[in-house]
Structure 1
Amino acid sequence: MIRLFTAFALLLGALAGAQALVPKQPKDLVQASLVAEPSAVAPGSTAAVGIRMAMKPGWHVYWRNPGDSGLPPEMAWDLPRGVGVGPVQWPAPERLPVQTLMNYGYEGEVVLLVPVSVPKDYSGTSVRLAGKLSYLVCEEICIPGSADLELSLPVAAADAPPTPDPASTELFAKARAALPEPSPWPSRLSRQGDTVVLSLDRTGLAPDAIGEAAFFPYGETVLDNAASQTLTVDAAGLHLALKPGDAAKPPTDLPGVLTFTENGRRRAFAIGEPPPAAAAPSEAAPATAPTPVPAEDESLTLWSAAGLALLGGLVLNLMPCVFPVLSIKVLSLVKQAGQSTTRVRIHGLAYTAGVLASFLALAGLLMALKAGGATIGWGFQLQSPIVVAVLAYGLLAMGLSLSGVVHLGGGIAGLGDGLTRRAGYQGSFFTGVLATLVATPCTAPFMGAAVGYALTQPPAVSLIVFASLGLGLALPFLALTLFPGALRIMPRPGAWMDTLKGVLAFPVYAAVAWLIWVLAQQVGPNGLLAGLSGLVLVGFAAWAWERARLGSGWGGTLARATALAALIATAGLVAVLDGDRAVAGSTATAEGIEPFTQARLDALRGEGRTVFVDMTAAWCITCQINERTALSRDGVKAAFRANGVVVLRGDWTNQNPEITTLLERYGRSGVPLYLLYRGKAEASVLPQILTEGVVLAAIEKRAGLAQR
């Protein structure tokens, strides 16, 4: 049975990796290219270049203001010396409702026009335009993507007139037609109750000729994007009722783009002046990603990061997710205390090998996925409902073995030791694998800085740091086996071990309950029902296998077949889970706490507010402990209220590119992350293990106000 269940778990793990962890390829969803209007450019001239993006049906990219969620496309240019590009000219977007959100963007195909200027003294025979386009493409899920784009244009004589490329003429004409025109009519803003009314003073409009009006503000938080926009047309012109983002502070001016159909033709007009956009540099220099914000790990070296990782791994052994597994393995070692020293030491080495192999495999997969464009971090596998369910099923089988419901192998741990009756070294190896898997929801002190450093380094350096983390996790058990004399202080093997084995089953059951709670945050009702049904089937399979062990002949064969059928049915249920994902951000937010978005954070900082950012996840045990022991304390809540601190909570239970981007900005690869901002000043980074005193001291220092 243990061989069967191990193969089953490995198979589902592989399915999880293929189906849930590896993102859809963005290149299959967006075809991006650079196109130029002229066939050649002359020194001292400016040419129109387009960033062309063609999306798969049903998918979209974003406008300069993405609305309630999302990120606009960005181009990091790599240009010859002296060549410059101006601001992007954004076509008028569409309103794109997704669940309860309203986004602004483009479906089908869009061409973002960019002016490219060539200096008069340019002496090359061609102009190479290149850069990296970064974008977020979304349906109901969002996938970050990037494309390396390049275009080479020959250089014509300085006095040569521009030569349009016939193949691009129609494309650029269509792109220009999609741009909003400067409004030839005056506009004004008035207030009516809880709404503001944008009026376009254009007389002579026939009400039945105007329809499908929409307004797209340049500011990301000035309007309630998802609210309906009510159009009226009268003799004075066109009027559009809009709901402010903050009813207490309605906007006094409202620059943006107004679109409406007139006699069936869509028209777009720019209202007011857009905020200035920075032009690309005119000097040749490959554009790079924003420099990470300096944090406490800014001076890390390879060896200091490896040392922090080793300490973090040691502390992981005390975490509630790891301790039950480790204690069960130590109990099995007690049984072997009278055996040869060499055999005990090999068990320790096998366990260490399992931990190290698992950490290196996870690190390699994480680096490969990030290199492929995935926006993920440490603990990423638990963002997959499939992985969460498989881990819960494995721990349930382990708990049933400890409770004596089913005998999985001859070893006392019951998990893996039956893979071979000769020595059980494979059992120790797979216990190390299991310890690694259940350790990933936890973030110990020292870990965040070390793992964040590792993921910004070359692969060889990253693997050294992750190996150090694994060695720290394995070290206590390894030390116990290398010095087996320490086992003599423990009681001699006896009946007490069977009692303790049964007691240790209950922390394992508690871990199963916690994993099902995590699953409930990730999937909808149908997915949760499938996950719970899987628990029943695993229990039934264990019962049937035990009947087969005790039976013989046709009865035993039938019981084995029944157990196998139950496991196959469980695999079918697991396949349902990823298709019933909960809506991103649907996790309930506590009273007085707002859900995190980068746009909301930027708006609050722009107002000079003090903001506490709590990056958490349902599967992060460290996060949950910090929530209960520090953040939910009455003293902390009172300090937040007294100092006007706005709390934004980012839920990373499921993948969220905005949260991952902020984590990476502060040199972290996973949650928890706690940031305290005051206005536009850079954030203070709080420790990963919080106490009420730590939070209060940070508020007092950052807000500059005395606490009660």
Structure 2
Amino acid sequence: MFQRLIFAGRRHRGGLVRQRAFLVRGLLMIWCCLALAVGSAQAQVSSVVHATLATRPTPLRAGESAVLYVRIHVAPGYHIQSAHPYDHFLVATRAVPLPVPGISFGPVRYPKGKDIPASTAITALGKLSVYEGAVKIKIPLRLAANVQTRQSLRVHLITQACDANACFMPATLRLHLVVHIVSAGHKATRAAGATTAGALPAGHPPATYSVLGGKSHTAVWLLVVFALLGGMILNVMPCVLPVIPLKVLSLMNQAHGDKRIAMRHGLFFGLGMVSLFVVLGGVIGLYQWATGGTFLYGSQFQNPVFMLAIGLVLVAFGLSTLGLWTIQPPASVNRLQAPGTGYVASFSTGLLATILATPCSAPFLGSVLAWALLQPSWVVVLFFALIGVGMAAPYVVLAAMPDWIAWVPRAGRWSDILKNTLGFVILAVAVFIFSSLPGRGEILAAINLSLLVGVVCWVWGQMVTSNTPPDRAVAIRGGAVGLALLLGIAVWHWYAPAVKARKLPAGLVPGRFSDDQPIAANRWENFSNERLHAALHADHPVMVDFTASWCINCRAVKAFVLDSPAVRRAAAHAGMVLLSADLTQANPPAQSLLLKLGGRSIPFLAIFSPALPYHPRILRDLYTIDDVLKAVHAAADKK
């Protein structure tokens, strides 16, 4: 049935129209399913924390004292930080009453927190002081004798919620209660709209808590839009860019031929993208469910073996683009596609584009990942699928509307030159990945293994021709692959001792810090918690750049934004300490702080002020010089 839907079709325009209609109906069906799932996700987020205001006694009387209660209900499986958390980077729960004419507020009385064990990813102490379930905060108040009879009481509830794995971004709930005040000794009934203890205003739901970027609530439909836009923007990120023109070139060539085949190629290319995003989301969700940990997007590149494997795949792909070799799918796979159509190649190219996208975090994606990676596993999978749909959308549209690119000339020498140029660009990306390996041993291993991959590709493509007997072709290619594997294992074992002996720089190792170490003058230092605390204690604002050598976006932001003359001058003028939190390899102290600040991807920038040392300003994904200057000036003004 699947083959009939994909490959069947008549050779006239009516068949193409029906295929487009089928595509539109399929996309609408997918969208409806996503909308239902997202609606469910939004209900889940909105039920994390509820808060209401109530007064005792009721009614309030002029000239007398009363108590304003902040009643909080935390959903099962979650908690909020207490008023006195053990870790200062976790935001304490605070109730701040706003001034009201004729009413004076006394010191806020908070309940005692409950100690619970916690993951070391959240706090190095291994425990937290939290509030769970029902929580009651008391705010004493005194009413003047001449207070107006109708008043609006407003309280800002600042809090940070966590589950068993990680913490949300801090949020401020804005609570509101209208009360009517009677004169002393006057008996009156409660006015409509006022709230007594345990009651809610009619027709007004309790304040809800959903955290994203410090806002008290962000609609999940907006996160869906961000996921789709972020996926689309991934196509122009430096990590993915070398692969994309190859697919566009293929679509341009197919636009001059059978339009139905062009549509199918675009669908298979997009399906490859979406499939790998779904698999990635499933693996992340399973990992978080099984280990109780929190996944940092792109952290797979902290593994040198993974980086080496990706680099070698790019070497093989680049050599294939240069025409050194081609690979034919097995006969069993060929039977799934029409002769000479190459749908498996389109699908594989979509997979490769997605792999290259994983170290990048495009605009909008940082906020989406910060929220999605704290949700149940099925929500993680759903939002990764949305990112894949957004990334694949331009190619599906181009495939469905081939006339949009039919004006491009047919393939010729210009397209061969472009293809070869892109082949060299892909090899350059492989070199970049190898240069990001953490040690000399890994880099030398990558060079030697790349030579082996090149030899295998040459044997595969040049030693076997169309006239070579099948048995001999299998023997030649199989022998080359087998010999390369043996030599590759030998190369890796040769360099393994050097890899194991290598250690992190002293600045990244906890405990290698002296309180007497002077503050560096406008230069980047390795991050440590001790260095951060010492700088803030010495009344210096601090900029912490979470980065990695394998993150091209991080390098671009640092080169063109953070190291720009304007930012450097502003930082020097503010006496700012610059700390680089390098996540090229596993760096528990830096990753712990990143998770506490609500980051799940890089680039990520935190700017701390001595006046508010535990409430930094954050910038994520791609940001501008003006964004950084505003944050630097704000931190300097509060010194």
State the TM-score, normalizing by the size of structure 2.
0.62
Corresponding residue number in structure 1 for 2:555: 624
Q: Per-residue deviation at 1:680?
A: 4.7
CA distance in 2, matches of 1:321, 1:290: 30
Corresponding residue number in structure 2 for 1:380: 299
Of 257, 263, 288, which aligns to 1:339? 257
1:392 paired to 2:311: yes
Structure 2 unpaired stretches of 5+:
1-76, 78-85, 87-113, 136-161, 172-211, 509-519
1:685 paired to 2:605: no
CA distance in 1, matches of 2:214, 2:115: 34
Of 500, 525, 532, which aligns to 1:601? 532
Corresponding residue number in structure 2 for 1:700: 633
For 2:546, the aligned partner's letter is M
For 1:132, the aligned partner's letter is P
The 5 Å alignment of 1:42-53 reads none
| Contact 2:324 2:462 (C-alpha < 8 Å) held by counterparts | no
CA distance in 2, matches of 1:336, 1:352: 16
- More moved, 466-475 vs 297-306: 297-306
Q: Per-residue deviation at 1:666?
A: 2.6
| Contact 2:235 2:391 (C-alpha < 8 Å) held by counterparts | yes
| Contact 2:240 2:356 (C-alpha < 8 Å) held by counterparts | yes
More helix by share: 2
For 2:397, the aligned partner's letter is A
Corresponding residue number in structure 1 for 2:583: 652
CA distance in 1, matches of 2:574, 2:276: 46
The residue matched to 2:324 in structure 1 has which SS? coil
Change in 2 beyond 3 A, CA 1:548/1:623: same
Q: Per-residue deviation at 1:339?
A: 3.0
CA distance in 1, matches of 2:521, 2:357: 27
1:426 paired to 2:426: no
Q: Per-residue deviation at 1:687?
A: 4.4
Q: Per-residue deviation at 1:578?
A: 7.7
1:321 paired to 2:239: yes
Corresponding residue number in structure 1 for 2:419: 501
For 2:623, the aligned partner's letter is L
Corresponding residue number in structure 2 for 1:408: 327
Change in 2 beyond 3 A, CA 1:135/1:453: closer
1:365 paired to 2:283: yes
Corresponding residue number in structure 2 for 1:293: 170
Q: Per-residue deviation at 1:280?
A: 8.6
1:530 paired to 2:461: no
Corresponding residue number in structure 1 for 2:191: none
Q: Per-residue deviation at 1:575?
A: 7.2
CA distance in 1, matches of 2:623, 2:521: 19
For 1:377, the aligned partner's letter is L
CA distance in 2, matches of 1:571, 1:663: 37
Q: Per-residue deviation at 1:569?
A: 3.1
State the TM-score, normalizing by the size of structure 1.
0.56
Corresponding residue number in structure 1 for 2:394: 476
| Contact 1:360 1:466 (C-alpha < 8 Å) held by counterparts | yes
| Contact 1:376 1:660 (C-alpha < 8 Å) held by counterparts | no
| Contact 1:145 1:373 (C-alpha < 8 Å) held by counterparts | no
For 1:526, the aligned partner's letter is G
For 1:527, the aligned partner's letter is E
For 2:504, the aligned partner's letter is A
CA distance in 2, matches of 1:355, 1:439: 10
Of 659, 662, 665, which aligns to 2:593? 662
Change in 2 beyond 3 A, CA 1:439/1:463: same
CA distance in 2, matches of 1:417, 1:144: 54
Q: Deviations over 1:569-619 (max 9, x none)?
A: 365245778872642356999982221122332333334320111000111
Of 477, 480, 499, which aligns to 1:560? 477
Q: Per-residue deviation at 1:409?
A: 4.4
Q: Deviations over 1:500-559 (max 9, x none)?
A: 21121121111111111112xx2x322222121110100010111123323736875553
Change in 2 beyond 3 A, CA 1:673/1:577: farther
Corresponding residue number in structure 1 for 2:486: 569
Corresponding residue number in structure 2 for 1:583: 503
The residue matched to 2:255 in structure 1 has which SS? coil
Q: Per-residue deviation at 1:315?
A: 1.1
CA distance in 2, matches of 1:585, 1:332: 46
- More moved, 312-321 vs 663-672: 663-672
CA distance in 1, matches of 2:557, 2:277: 25
CA distance in 2, matches of 1:457, 1:578: 39
CA distance in 1, matches of 2:228, 2:132: 46
Change in 2 beyond 3 A, CA 1:302/1:406: same
Change in 2 beyond 3 A, CA 1:556/1:515: same
Change in 2 beyond 3 A, CA 1:547/1:297: same
Change in 2 beyond 3 A, CA 1:480/1:419: same
Q: Per-residue deviation at 1:675?
A: 0.9
The residue matched to 1:489 in structure 2 has which SS? coil
| Contact 1:388 1:515 (C-alpha < 8 Å) held by counterparts | yes
CA distance in 2, matches of 1:293, 1:392: 39
Q: Deviations over 1:612-666 (max 9, x none)?
A: 1100011111100011101112332222122110111100111222222222223
The residue matched to 1:513 in structure 2 has which SS? helix
Q: Per-residue deviation at 1:480?
A: 0.5
CA distance in 2, matches of 1:672, 1:346: 36
Q: Per-residue deviation at 1:449?
A: 0.3
1:492 paired to 2:401: no
| Contact 2:256 2:406 (C-alpha < 8 Å) held by counterparts | no
| Contact 1:378 1:440 (C-alpha < 8 Å) held by counterparts | yes
| Contact 1:643 1:705 (C-alpha < 8 Å) held by counterparts | no
Change in 2 beyond 3 A, CA 1:426/1:578: farther
1:435 paired to 2:353: yes
Q: Per-residue deviation at 1:130?
A: 9.9
Corresponding residue number in structure 2 for 1:542: 457
Aligned residues, how many?
437
Q: Deviations over 1:140-182 (max 9, x none)?
A: xxx99999xxxxxxxxxxxxxxxxxxxxxxxxxxxxxxxxxxx
Corresponding residue number in structure 2 for 1:98: none
Q: Per-residue deviation at 1:678?
A: 0.6
Change in 2 beyond 3 A, CA 1:383/1:570: farther
Structure 1 unpaired stretches of 5+:
1-77, 79-86, 88-128, 137-142, 148-276, 411-415
CA distance in 1, matches of 2:385, 2:304: 27
For 2:117, the aligned partner's letter is K
Q: Deviations over 1:310-329 (max 9, x none)?
A: 11111111112111111101
The residue matched to 2:319 in structure 1 has which SS? helix
More strand by share: 1
Of 366, 370, 381, which aligns to 1:463? 381
The residue matched to 1:549 in structure 2 has which SS? coil
| Contact 1:540 1:566 (C-alpha < 8 Å) held by counterparts | no
CA distance in 1, matches of 2:436, 2:325: 27
Change in 2 beyond 3 A, CA 1:651/1:555: same
Change in 2 beyond 3 A, CA 1:368/1:280: closer
The residue matched to 2:569 in structure 1 has which SS? helix
Sequence identity, in percent? Answer: 30
Q: Per-residue deviation at 1:671?
A: 1.0
